Amino acid sequence: MTSPRLQPEQGPAQAGAAPLVPSTSDDARLLRAVLALGVGGFSIGTGEFVIMGLLPEVARDVGVSIPQAGHVISAYALGVVVGAPALAVLAAGLGRRTLLIALMVAYAVANIGSALAPGYVSLNLLRFISGLPHGTYFGVAALVAASLAPPNRRARAVGLVMLGLTGATLVGVPIASSLGQHFGWRAAFVFVGAIAALAVVLVRRGVPAMPAAPGAGPWRELQALRNQHVWLTLATGAIGFGGMFAVFSYIKPTLTEVAGLPLAQVPLVLALFGGGMVAGNLVGSRLADRSVMGTVGGVLLWSALVLASFVFAARHVPTAAAATFLLGTVVALGPALQIRLMDVAGEAQTLAAALNHSAFNAANALGAWLGGVAISAGLGWTSTGWVGALLALAGLAVFGVALRAGRRTVLAG
């Protein structure tokens, strides 16, 4: 009989069920799995974020302005928004390991294709295709990690998977950015594709075979779309996370044009952003294991403060570097939102978990677009900080609505 720890499609009270005192073999299995899944996340994180540090190079090569080149970021994000629900529903009956491998193969091929794109339109199309596997991969990976962990460590297990994504900004993005600056931006996507291919091998070896739960299918997954708590959680992330992307999408020209940072030092500051993301992910996942809703509200408020301060900090290199690190800590919101979706999604775990990354990348598209609008309107590179702060506050307002809706549900029950 299948162990309950290998059934990520269970209800919220059981998802991630495990013995209260895990054995050494259980811990070893969890570690092997999250390391393999983390390498996939490392590839995806590098592919998603590296383009933000190479926008000037992309713009020159394909003959467009930097704000227009920012549409490549939005194209990838749109692919995530579309791909996460579509693939989660269509592949609901597949075994988890099989699905994860297929998604990584697709990601590798699409990124190699991006490196070969002949022009602006084809690059946008290929970045859209690259984004399609992103959300479903992370959603299924989070469910696998949570199902292998004890109940009181679910958020930390999800955080370890997400460490691949956040660690990519610390290690993968600077390496890929350096490759892009020395050998052309296309080399960065070749690097991403190679890491994705490595992840295919590691997932095959390190993740246990996990068949889909009995009765899993498209219709059951679609039931998540009838749940107001799922929608409110997604809206909180889609709007609240947008602030970080409004600033980070244009971080390179802001650092060089406003703070006067030498171009050669940009990868070092981008590594600070990655360090902030790693710190935020680790702290946020621990806080979420104590209080999911308290963590969501606290991080959104923190985000608004960090983004508003960026407007002033970006004027000098030392303060701009510190602000870039703090900007990365906003990612602490991610594990809490992921666990919240698992708790409210009922039996539609796969779709809800994947939609979290649709929301994250809707935030990517929204933030990059609104930041570009402010810059194109002549408000200056630092105006993205004000845009970001307003988005964080708007996300906090949506979160307030979610809290009230939760209280009404409890009272009605």
CATH, residue 266: 1.20.1250.20
Give the span between the Cα atoms of 217 and 225, in whole angstroms: 14
Is residue 197 situated within a structural domain? yes
Predicted confidence band of residue 16 (pLDDT cuts 50, 70, 90):
very low
Predicted confidence band of residue 170 (pLDDT cuts 50, 70, 90):
confident
Whether residue 143 is predicted with pLDDT greater than 90 in this model: the reply is no
Is residue 11 situated within a structural domain? no
Predicted confidence band of residue 214 (pLDDT cuts 50, 70, 90):
low
C-beta separation of 164 from 40 below 8 A: yes
What local confidence, expressed as pLDDT, does residue 26 receive? Answer: 67
Is residue 293 situated within a structural domain? yes
What local confidence, expressed as pLDDT, does residue 13 receive? Answer: 38
Whether residue 88 is predicted with pLDDT greater than 60 in this model: the reply is yes
Q: Give per-residue burial for 280-295: e unless 16+ CB within 10 Å, then b.
A: bbbbbbbbbbeebeeb
Give the span between the Cα atoms of 177 and 200, in whole angstroms: 23
Whether residue 396 is predicted with pLDDT greater than 70 in this model: the reply is yes
In terms of Cβ atoms closer than 10 Å to its own Cβ (0-12, 13-18, 19+), residue 302 is middle
Is residue 150 situated within a structural domain? yes
What local confidence, expressed as pLDDT, does residue 146 receive? Answer: 81
Full domain range(s) for residue 174 = 24-412
Structurally, how many domains does the chain consist of?
Answer: 1
Predicted confidence band of residue 266 (pLDDT cuts 50, 70, 90):
confident
Residue 352: phi and psi, rounded to 5, are -65, -45
pTM score, two decimals?
A: 0.73
Residue whose C-alpha is closest to residue 217's, from 339, 106, 349, 120: 349
Is residue 13 situated within a structural domain? no
C-beta separation of 382 from 254 below 8 A: yes
Give the span between the Cα atoms of 201 and 199, in whole angstroms: 5
Whether residue 85 is predicted with pLDDT greater than 90 in this model: the reply is no
The pLDDT tens digits for 20-29 are: 344 556 677 7
Give the span between the Cα atoms of 76 and 85, in whole angstroms: 15
Give the span between the Cα atoms of 289 and 389, in whole angstroms: 27
Is residue 19 situated within a structural domain? no
Is residue 93 situated within a structural domain? yes
C-beta separation of 403 from 332 below 8 A: no
The pLDDT tens digits for 145-159 are: 887 877 777 788 888
Whether residue 411 is predicted with pLDDT greater than 70 in this model: the reply is no
Average of per-residue pLDDT across 365-369: 86
Question: Lowest-confidence range among 157-161, 200-204, 240-244, 290-294?
Answer: 157-161
Is residue 5 situated within a structural domain? no
